[in-house]
Amino acid sequence: MPHLRLTESRIEALQSRKSPYDVRDTGLKGFGVRVLPSGNKRFFVHSQHESHRIWKTIGDAGGMRLDEARQRAVAFLAGLRSDDAPALPEERLFEAVAREVFEHYGRNWKPRTMRVNRGYLRSHILPWFGERNIADITRDDVQRWFASIRATPVAADRSAPILSVIMRQAEVYGYRQEDSNPCVGIRRYRRRGRERFLSMQELGRVALVLDDYEKDKPGEVAFIRLLLLTGCRKDEVRTICWSDYREGHLFLRDSKTGPRTVWLSLPARTILDRIPRKGRWVFPSPLTSGPVSSSVPDTFWHRVREEAGIADVRLHDLRHTYASMAIMQGESITTTGRLLGHSRPETTLKYAHLSDDAVRKAANDLGAILGKA
């Protein structure tokens, strides 16, 4: 956070950025100016009082002279130090709290999650709430915001949990009353499920295409086959180290849900055993010392799916296919969840209808046999 002696000309020269930033005055401790992404600038006082952090907006720099803002800041700070002073209101701008939450609570997020969440914060949340006092944001405000981005339901559904985390942490930090999270109970938009499962015929066509590429692109072929045989996520396979493969299992040190063990079938182990060991990574990058780039399997899969006549199938749908096969072979939701590395049983329940189909088929088969008797 920069510090300098604030002057009218220096304030006028401050340029906006993608995120809000503060410039502290070296002449008056606790006084400064905040520059918002919109270009607006606001004088503020930031101080400590009775173990509470106090944030007070003094005024808009576009309509208040620096001398007046500094005088108000002096009076405000003097009031804090006076034993006879009445309780002073605490004010916290939403954008300041959001930054604090991302700095501290965000340590629980993986780097990619942090990047995605910052994008939704910047694009969909800050433009609506950024300049509001976080203590004043109500459930009605959140509902109006949620309705305003209905045209992009995916963005709305992914932004809402981020807003809820910020509001919840604001309670923890003492910036809002307890149990006042205005996001509680906000229902997400219903979207048609995107789970796509490959049929046995489609899997057969994929296998034929992979066989054709076995000689020229053995690494890419092995990558796709491991996805099909393990149900792993793309990045879980992409970042496998040889030290992770032992005792017939993959011991993943990190995944979307944390460390987990992947139980390997004989065909999966055979694929791994045939890959030459040339360093740390099972699938090394030919250009760097790290694992293969994420774009390499994507590009290869686009070619495979076109030739197999399944152009609508994403690479992640191979994971859905693995899960669907497990369910239709009679595996329980709990077992399938463990195979996939789900941390919550609810995540696996989207495949429950496949289990119902298997039961229905069994009932019909039995009915046909017993009906003749």
Q: Looking at the structure, tell me whether residues 349 and 214 fall in a common domain.
A: yes
Predicted pLDDT of residue 98: 92
Domain annotation covers residue 193: no
Which residues, in sequence order, are bridge partners of residue 263?
Answer: 249
Rounded CA-CA distance 301/291 in Å is: 18
Domain annotation covers residue 328: yes
Domain annotation covers residue 294: yes
240, 282 contact by CB (below 8 A): yes
Q: Looking at the structure, tell me whether residues 22 and 98 fall in a common domain.
A: no
Cα radius of gyration (the chain): 28
Domain end position, chosen among 59, 81, 103:
81
Q: Looking at the structure, tell me whether residues 206 and 239 fall in a common domain.
A: yes
Q: Looking at the structure, tell me whether residues 72 and 168 fall in a common domain.
A: no
Predicted pLDDT of residue 59: 82
Give me the CATH number covering residue 163: 1.10.150
Q: Per the structure, how many domains does the chain have?
A: 3
Structure tokens at 87: 């309780």
Domain end position, chosen among 47, 81, 115:
81
Domain annotation covers residue 373: no
Rounded CA-CA distance 109/170 in Å is: 18
Q: Looking at the structure, tell me whether residues 331 and 231 fall in a common domain.
A: yes
Alpha helix ranges (H) inside the chain:
8-13, 66-81, 94-104, 111-120, 126-129, 139-148, 153-172, 200-213, 218-230, 234-238, 266-274, 295-308, 317-328, 333-340, 345-348, 352-372
Give me the CATH number covering residue 25: 3.30.160.390
Q: Looking at the structure, tell me whether residues 26 and 161 fall in a common domain.
A: no
Burial class of residue 141 in the structure, from the number of CB atoms within 10 Å of its CB (0-12 exposed, 13-18 middle, 19+ buried)? middle
Domain annotation covers residue 182: no
Q: Looking at the structure, tell me whether residues 224 and 294 fall in a common domain.
A: yes
Q: Residue 279 carries which side chain, given as an amino acid letter?
A: G
Domain annotation covers residue 191: no
**61: closest CA among 87, 106, 94, 31?**
31
Q: Looking at the structure, tell me whether residues 21 and 69 fall in a common domain.
A: yes
Domain annotation covers residue 338: yes
Domain end position, chosen among 154, 172, 190:
172
Q: Looking at the structure, tell me whether residues 106 and 73 fall in a common domain.
A: no
Q: Looking at the structure, tell me whether residues 242 and 286 fall in a common domain.
A: yes
Q: Looking at the structure, tell me whether residues 163 and 297 fall in a common domain.
A: no
Give me the CATH number covering residue 342: 1.10.443.10
Residue 267 belongs to what domain range?
200-361
Predicted pLDDT of residue 57: 78
Alpha helix ranges (H) inside 263-351:
266-274, 295-308, 317-328, 333-340, 345-348
327, 355 contact by CB (below 8 A): yes
Domain annotation covers residue 368: no
Reading the chain (373 residues) residue by residue, the pLDDT tens digits are: 578 889 999 999 999 887 678 899 998 988 999 887 778 888 888 777 666 667 677 888 888 899 999 999 898 888 776 655 444 445 578 988 999 999 988 888 878 889 999 999 999 999 888 878 888 889 998 999 999 888 888 888 899 999 999 999 988 887 887 888 999 888 877 655 566 888 889 999 999 999 999 999 999 999 999 999 998 889 899 999 999 999 988 998 877 667 888 889 899 999 999 999 989 999 999 889 999 998 999 999 999 999 999 998 999 889 888 888 887 777 777 887 778 777 776 677 777 666 666 666 666 766 666 666 5
Q: Looking at the structure, tell me whether residues 43 and 111 fall in a common domain.
A: no
